Structure 1
Amino acid sequence: MRSIVGVILLGLSALCAQAHAGEAALKVLVFGDPQVKSPQDVDYFRRDIVEPLRGRHGARLGISLGDIVDDAPAMYPAIKAETARLGIPWLYAPGNHDVDPGAADDAGSLDGFRREIGPDSFVRETALASFVVLDDVIAMPGQKPAYIGGLREDQFAMLAARLPKLRKDRLLVVALHIPLFEDADKDSFRDADRERLFALLQPFPHVLVLSAHSHAQRHFFHGAASGWHGAGLLHEYNVGATCGSYWAGAKDAAGIPDAMMADGTPNGYAVLEVRPGGAYSLAWHNARDAADSQIGLHAPKALRRGAYPAWGVFANVYMGDDDTRVEFRVDGGEWKPMKKVLQADPTLLAENMRDDGSEALRGYDRSPEAEPSQHLWRAALPTKLAAGEHVVEVRAFDRWRGEQRATTSYRLIEAVQ
């Protein structure tokens, strides 16, 4: 029966590819970590993500990159039903919070996911891209940590059989949950498994990796240092979480939590657009943000005129990376470079302080403690200008969307000691 289902799915995939063979671009919605644990979270997901997108997204495909639920398998039908309201085919990768509570071993750890969602690893072909969806969570019940990133032998067998049959003149998207890159102080993915996966991907000239799990945003470019020896660097986009900080934080007027992630990125979703020849572009969209803000600014409201310029404007460029050019100017003057810094976003630090200073809970769960952001820039504000209001403009040159701008202001005040 399993082989018959596989043939049917393969046939449907081929028909889908033929039906859209003439399209100039394929637009894909990408959700990282919806991570619902209750009907209340499903309601947040519906109102914060699904409803604003319905009938407006223009996508032909969607992907969720794991942690569909938050250790709550009973929520699978509800989150799947809400996602289905977007009206497009949807691919699901499992995450560590999709592991069955009480699972005895890795082999049976996703029985609930497979029953309610479908296969944990598979290949889906479209006219412009091939999608390889992988379960990269190796469950280790009873151990600490209880999981690690990696792949099973049956997955390597599938990849060895399927990858050589995929076309190399279009984009190959690898979608999984746990990132393939590791921070210096962490051992989060089995090195041997990463090396084997990279060896299988090496013949493909156009590869994009989509991961989630971190509840933050980051672009990582694999090279020889991380075991990649393909043509050029391998781009991994670690996608921010749809649930942000696990649906935490103070609620807004609509009763939806702030959900800002620990790196200062608002919760939301990504869009992948694939074009012929393996080309692609990426965009991040904050939930319910009509302005589609790409830069979050933080600056002091008032400074003493003539004070030493030790206070700055911070720009959180949500899709920024090490090569992003970020500049600022004051009152329409000369554009000057901002410096990339590895520190916490002051906007979230201020929210942490508001939580600390409140004698009552401001939300069901607090916003996360601010952590160093991979896409934060700073510039000192001039204090020798005339007293009064001064306008600060920041511009960032997005790798795919071009110039993006944001504006704030501060006041210089004459003061006598």
Structure 2
Amino acid sequence: MLVFADPQTKTATDVDYYRRDIVEPLLAGRAGSRVADLGLSLGDITHDDLSLYPQLNAVTASLEVPWLHAPGNHDLDFDATRDEDSLLSFRHVYGPDTFAWEEAQANFVVFDDVVYQPGGKTDYIGGLRPDQFAFLESYLASASKQRLLVLAMHIPLFDAAPGRETFRSADRERLFALLKDFPNLLVLSGHSHTQRHVFHDATDGWQGAKPLHEYNVGAACGAFWSGVKDAQGIPDTTMSDGTPNGYARLSVRADAGYGLRWFPARQSGGDKAANPYLRLYLPKVLRRGSYPIRGVFANVYMGRADSRVEYRIDEGEWKPMRRVEQPDPALLAENARDDEADRLRGYDRAAIATPSAHLWNAPLPTDAAAGEHQVDVRVFDPWQGEQRLSASYRLLDTAQD
């Protein structure tokens, strides 16, 4: 199953980026087989300009895959005076905003979780309407507990920051109560334009037998189609947590197990091709004997809080890296280049780097011999197995060497 979050096109130009950056590489790589059995978009299909739906749909339809759509906060009719009428245009094009879809291996519930609040401090908040709860109660009463149940929505169930309610806590509590007896669950959400895995537990009000896995999927548009363009004229559009734009694949097994994988856009070209699972950042040169404060960073795009990430120097002993919640240094460097430029480097600047949920760090030793030293990093992914990437740095005896 293909999972797209936030294509979020503002203009016909962005629709063309979506076509060339996301869809056409999928078509080129199918080698005569189907691209996928099913597709899903997790809201913000477009960015307020709903007249772009026909163009977007034509591009997505070229994949020849049955496709499900959840609405996002940028798919609203902003002239609506109440939440119930805020998706009239979306429903006219895509059908119901809340529905169930059943496949042989899994059940899907796709729903609108954007509560429009015209005239308020904020235009919307995450939550569910009473009629949606009634639908869920009715559907779940006879739904199989042996199958995987996937809930697809736009706004994440977790709050964006401590003390800031971005999904109504009362609605989350009620939803969790409906789901607690289902052992095989997965939540897919978008909206954040970053990527992370959240495992809801009792601290969030979840009362199920095991933590509830929510995969907050990175955006197809990345950082809103921003940044420096490549040789093909497509913006870099790396997200604020350092994740390259792209899409996810969900694979479902007959035993209700599942696998997830992130695919950077056009991964066959440029720096994104080094390894589609992670990126390394480290200094090129250090003075031999200097204080070992400079280190290697590994941005593991599908990393989780419990991910095992290790490194070694010159094929020595593997050692654990430390997870840090700070901005991706590669994106910070891009921000600095934007600041130093005397003209715009792209239509919009790169995203401002924000703390990443999947960044690891380790110090680089400076007490080795002068010359080149290899750094290997390996990650143990629960679905894709071991992933590795290598880089190097040089030690110089003096700054003049």
Report the Cα distance in structure 1 between the residues aligned to 2:366 and 2:96, rounded to whole angstroms.
Answer: 60
Report the Cα distance in structure 2 between the residues aligned to 1:387 and 1:181, rounded to whole angstroms.
Answer: 49
Report the Cα distance in structure 1 between the residues aligned to 2:164 and 2:239, rounded to whole angstroms.
Answer: 20
What's the counterpart of residue 82 of structure 2? 105
Q: Are residues 411 and 90 of structure 1, via their aligned partners in 2, closer, same or farther at CA, if it must alter by over 3 Å?
A: same
Choose the corresponding residue for 2:129, options 142, 147, 152: 152
Report the Cα distance in structure 2 between the residues aligned to 1:91 and 1:200, rounded to whole angstroms.
Answer: 23
Taking structure 1 as the reference length, what is the TM-score of the superposition?
0.92
The one-letter code sitting in structure 2 at the alignment partner of 1:337 is P
Choose the corresponding residue for 2:91, options 107, 114, 119: 114
Report the Cα distance in structure 1 between the residues aligned to 2:238 and 2:80, rounded to whole angstroms.
Answer: 32
The one-letter code sitting in structure 1 at the alignment partner of 2:3 is V
Report the Cα distance in structure 2 between the residues aligned to 1:416 and 1:309, rounded to whole angstroms.
Answer: 16
The one-letter code sitting in structure 2 at the alignment partner of 1:163 is L
> Counterparts in 2 of 1:55-204, with a 5 A limit?
56=30, 58-182=35-159, 183-204=161-182
What's the counterpart of residue 226 of structure 2? 248
Choose the corresponding residue for 1:48, options 11, 21, 26: 21
The one-letter code sitting in structure 2 at the alignment partner of 1:265 is T
What's the counterpart of residue 404 of structure 1? 387
The one-letter code sitting in structure 2 at the alignment partner of 1:50 is V
The one-letter code sitting in structure 1 at the alignment partner of 2:296 is V
Instruction: Say whether residues 1:260 and 2:243 are aligned partners.
Output: no
What's the counterpart of residue 339 of structure 2? 356
Task: Show structure 1 runs of 5+ residues with no match.
Answer: 1-27
Q: Deviations for 1:338-389, whole angstroms, at most 9, x for unmatched residues?
A: 0000000000000000100101101111111100000000000010111111
Identity of aligned residues (%): 61
Q: CA RMSD in A?
A: 1.1
SS of the equivalent of 1:348 reads: helix
> Counterparts in 2 of 1:224-243, with a 5 A limit?
224-243=202-221
SS of the equivalent of 2:82 reads: coil
Q: Deviations for 1:212-271, whole angstroms, at most 9, x for unmatched residues?
A: 100000000001111111120100000000000000111000000001000000000000
Instruction: Say whether residues 1:207 and 2:192 are aligned partners.
Output: no
8 Å contact from structure 2 (residues 261, 384) kept in 1:
yes
More divergent stretch after superposition (113-122 vs 288-297)? 288-297
Instruction: Say whether residues 1:372 and 2:345 are aligned partners.
Output: no
Displacement of 1:69 in angstroms is 0.6
SS of the equivalent of 1:100 reads: coil
Q: Deviations for 1:45-80, whole angstroms, at most 9, x for unmatched residues?
A: 000000000162641000000000101101111111
Instruction: Say whether residues 1:320 and 2:303 are aligned partners.
Output: yes
SS of the equivalent of 2:139 reads: helix
What's the counterpart of residue 33 of structure 1? 6
The one-letter code sitting in structure 2 at the alignment partner of 1:240 is G
Q: Deviations for 1:169-202, whole angstroms, at most 9, x for unmatched residues?
A: 1100000000001131321011111111111111
**Which runs of structure 1 show a deviation greater than 2 angstroms over 4 or more consecutive aligned residues?**
none
Report the Cα distance in structure 1 between the residues aligned to 2:72 and 2:88, rounded to whole angstroms.
Answer: 13
Displacement of 1:145 in angstroms is 1.2
8 Å contact from structure 1 (residues 76, 117) kept in 2:
no
SS of the equivalent of 2:255 reads: helix
Report the Cα distance in structure 2 between the residues aligned to 1:144 and 1:267, rounded to whole angstroms.
Answer: 31
8 Å contact from structure 2 (residues 287, 399) kept in 1:
no
The one-letter code sitting in structure 2 at the alignment partner of 1:345 is D
Report the Cα distance in structure 1 between the residues aligned to 2:36 and 2:192, rounded to whole angstroms.
Answer: 25
SS of the equivalent of 1:309 reads: coil
Displacement of 1:416 in angstroms is 6.4
8 Å contact from structure 2 (residues 35, 65) kept in 1:
no
What's the counterpart of residue 326 of structure 2? 343
Instruction: Say whether residues 1:309 and 2:300 are aligned partners.
Output: no
Q: Are residues 416 and 350 of structure 1, via their aligned partners in 2, closer, same or farther at CA, if it must alter by over 3 Å?
A: closer
The one-letter code sitting in structure 2 at the alignment partner of 1:261 is M
The one-letter code sitting in structure 2 at the alignment partner of 1:136 is D
Instruction: Say whether residues 1:331 and 2:317 are aligned partners.
Output: no
Report the Cα distance in structure 2 between the residues aligned to 1:186 and 1:318, rounded to whole angstroms.
Answer: 25
Displacement of 1:101 in angstroms is 2.6
What's the counterpart of residue 375 of structure 2? 392
Displacement of 1:331 in angstroms is 1.1
Aligned residues, how many?
A: 390
8 Å contact from structure 1 (residues 298, 313) kept in 2:
yes
SS of the equivalent of 2:18 reads: helix
Report the Cα distance in structure 1 between the residues aligned to 2:14 and 2:95, rounded to whole angstroms.
Answer: 22
Report the Cα distance in structure 2 between the residues aligned to 1:41 and 1:232, rounded to whole angstroms.
Answer: 41
The one-letter code sitting in structure 2 at the alignment partner of 1:331 is D
Report the Cα distance in structure 2 between the residues aligned to 1:394 and 1:65, rounded to whole angstroms.
Answer: 32
Report the Cα distance in structure 2 between the residues aligned to 1:389 and 1:109, rounded to whole angstroms.
Answer: 60
Taking structure 2 as the reference length, what is the TM-score of the superposition?
0.96
Displacement of 1:144 in angstroms is 1.7
Choose the corresponding residue for 1:222, options 192, 200, 223: 200
Task: Show structure 2 runs of 5+ residues with no match.
Answer: none
Report the Cα distance in structure 2 between the residues aligned to 1:406 and 1:313, rounded to whole angstroms.
Answer: 12
Report the Cα distance in structure 1 between the residues aligned to 2:224 and 2:189, rounded to whole angstroms.
Answer: 17
Displacement of 1:157 in angstroms is 0.8
